[in-house]
């Protein structure tokens, strides 16, 4: 029987809607053999996800998605199978959570200056103690009646280029790759669209990149084929997943973008060789 893995999911520990257990239960209902929990700049949901995986019979791929920027472009680096207790990685994620809080507070100030009367306490309450992000601000804007939809909140107020938008804290992609490498993990370039040139990918490979995400809702068949060619040329791992956040855009895409289990097995085999070296 074919076995499939969705290697890129988010929970409410970053900007998803599902709890770790809800994500695992849905994966089980869909018949997925394995899922990757890759919350943004936090591993807060991994322990609960692993426990739920044992309960529902779903293999959990421990992951994280680190935010970075290169030449003015957002570049996300996925980390897999790293040491949870690695101090530099833990310290970075703590710093990033603090910077996310500061960023949200600045956006609330900007909104207030534009006549939108919400406060930071409302945003913190929406986050329920998790890492604060723009989705929580959007939820408050909807609750207060300033917008009708999640998408409208981003378009009018907090999306790229909108009046209250504030840039987020980022590191260089090479720094993100090094953090993952030092934590004995594998680094994978997340959903590289056409704006990520082949030259940029080669530069990341020189910095130690281990793989490329080739299956993703934002990648068409032509782009997927091109990325697989690069992976073969440079002996890179491949990965893929739905990048499901729980349906904030109206579509719960978990399980619609998957890779065969042997793709995951290749990753685990390389991790084993790395650990044995």
Looking at the chain, the whole-number percentage of residues with pLDDT higher than 90 is 83
Q: Is residue 167 part of a domain?
A: no
Give pLDDT tens digits for 197-239: 999 999 999 999 999 999 999 999 999 999 999 999 999 999 9
CB atoms within 10 A of CB 245: 21
Same domain for 71 and 177: yes
What CATH number is attached to the domain comprising 180?
Answer: 3.20.20.140
Q: Is residue 31 part of a domain?
A: yes
pLDDT over threshold 60, residue 157: yes
The per-residue pLDDT for 229 is 98
Domain limits for position 246: 4-85+172-276
Torsion of CA 145, 12, 155, 256, to 10 degrees: -120
Same domain for 132 and 43: no
pLDDT over threshold 80, residue 81: yes
Mean pLDDT calculated for residue range 118-124: 94
Same domain for 195 and 264: yes
Of the candidates 172, 170, 154, which has an alpha carbon nearest to the alpha carbon of residue 162? 154
The per-residue pLDDT for 24 is 97
pLDDT over threshold 70, residue 250: no
Number of domains in the chain: 2
Give pLDDT tens digits for 175-195: 999 999 999 999 999 999 999
Same domain for 246 and 111: no
HSE-CB for 72 with a 13 A CA cutoff = 2
Same domain for 205 and 134: no
Q: Is residue 166 part of a domain?
A: no
Same domain for 197 and 125: no
Structure tokens at 42: 């936090």
Mean pLDDT calculated for residue range 127-133: 81
Whole-angstrom distance, CA of residue 10 vs CA of residue 213: 15
Q: Write out the DSSP string of the chain.
A: ---EEEEEE--TTTT-SS-HHHHHHHHHHTT-SEEEE--BT--TTHHHHHHHHHHHT-EEEEEEEEEEEETTEEEEEEEES--TT-HHHHHHHHHHHHHHHHHHHHHHHHHHHTT----HHHHHHHHTTS---HHHHHHHHHHTTS-SSHHHHIIIIISTTSTT--PPP-B-HHHHHHHHHHTT-EEEE----TTS-HHHHHHHHHTT--EEEEE-TT--HHHHHHHHHHHHHTT-EEEE---B-SSTTS---TTTS-EEHHHHHHHHHHHHHHHH-
The per-residue pLDDT for 251 is 61
Q: Is residue 28 part of a domain?
A: yes
Same domain for 76 and 197: yes
pLDDT over threshold 80, residue 248: no
Query: Of 76-85, 136-145, 245-254, which gets the smallest average pLDDT?
Result: 245-254
Predicted structure pTM score: 0.89
Q: Is residue 165 part of a domain?
A: no
Whole-angstrom distance, CA of residue 50 vs CA of residue 40: 17
Q: Residue written as tokens 């980390």? A: 79
The per-residue pLDDT for 1 is 57
Same domain for 116 and 152: yes
Give pLDDT tens digits for 3-50: 999 999 999 888 888 999 999 999 999 999 999 999 999 999 999 999
Among the candidates 158, 185, 214, a domain finishes at 158
CB atoms within 10 A of CB 270: 17
Same domain for 268 and 132: no
Same domain for 211 and 260: yes
Same domain for 266 and 177: yes
> Parallel, antiparallel, or unpaired: how do β-strands 4-9 and 259-260 relate?
antiparallel
Same domain for 102 and 70: no
The per-residue pLDDT for 170 is 81
The per-residue pLDDT for 129 is 76
The per-residue pLDDT for 74 is 87
């Amino acid at each position: 029987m074919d076995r499939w893995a969705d290697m890129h999911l988010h929970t409410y520990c970053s900007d998803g809607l599902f709890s770790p257990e809800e994500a695992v239960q849905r994966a089980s209902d869909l018949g997925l053999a394995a899922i990757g929990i890759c919350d943004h700049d936090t591993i807060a949901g991994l322990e609960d996800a692993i426990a739920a995986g044992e309960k529902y019979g779903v293999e959990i791929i421990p992951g994280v998605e680190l935010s970075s920027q290169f030449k003015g472009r957002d570049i996300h680096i996925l980390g897999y199978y790293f040491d949870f207790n690695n101090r530099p990685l833990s310290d970075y994620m703590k710093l990033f959570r603090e910077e996310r809080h500061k960023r949200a507070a600045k956006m609330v100030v900007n909104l207030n200056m534009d006549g939108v009367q919400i406060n930071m306490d409302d945003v913190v309450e929406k986050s329920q103690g998790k890492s604060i992000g723009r989705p929580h601000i959007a939820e408050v804007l909807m609750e207060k009646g300033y917008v009708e939809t999640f998408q409208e909140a981003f378009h009018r107020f907090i999306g790229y280029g909108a009046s209250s938008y504030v840039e987020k804290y980022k590191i260089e992609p090479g720094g993100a790759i090094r953090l993952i490498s030092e934590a004995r993990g594998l680094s994978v370039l997340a959903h590289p669209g056409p704006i990520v040139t082949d030259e940029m990918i080669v530069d990341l490979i020189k910095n130690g990149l281990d793989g490329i995400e080739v299956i993703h809702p934002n990648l068409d068949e032509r782009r997927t084929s091109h990325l697989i060619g690069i992976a073969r040329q440079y002996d890179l791992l491949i990965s893929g997943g739905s990048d499901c956040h729980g349906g904030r855009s109206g579509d719960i895409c978990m399980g619609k973008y998957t890779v065969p289990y042997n793709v995951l097995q290749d990753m685990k085999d390389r991790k084993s060789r790395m650990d044995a070296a």
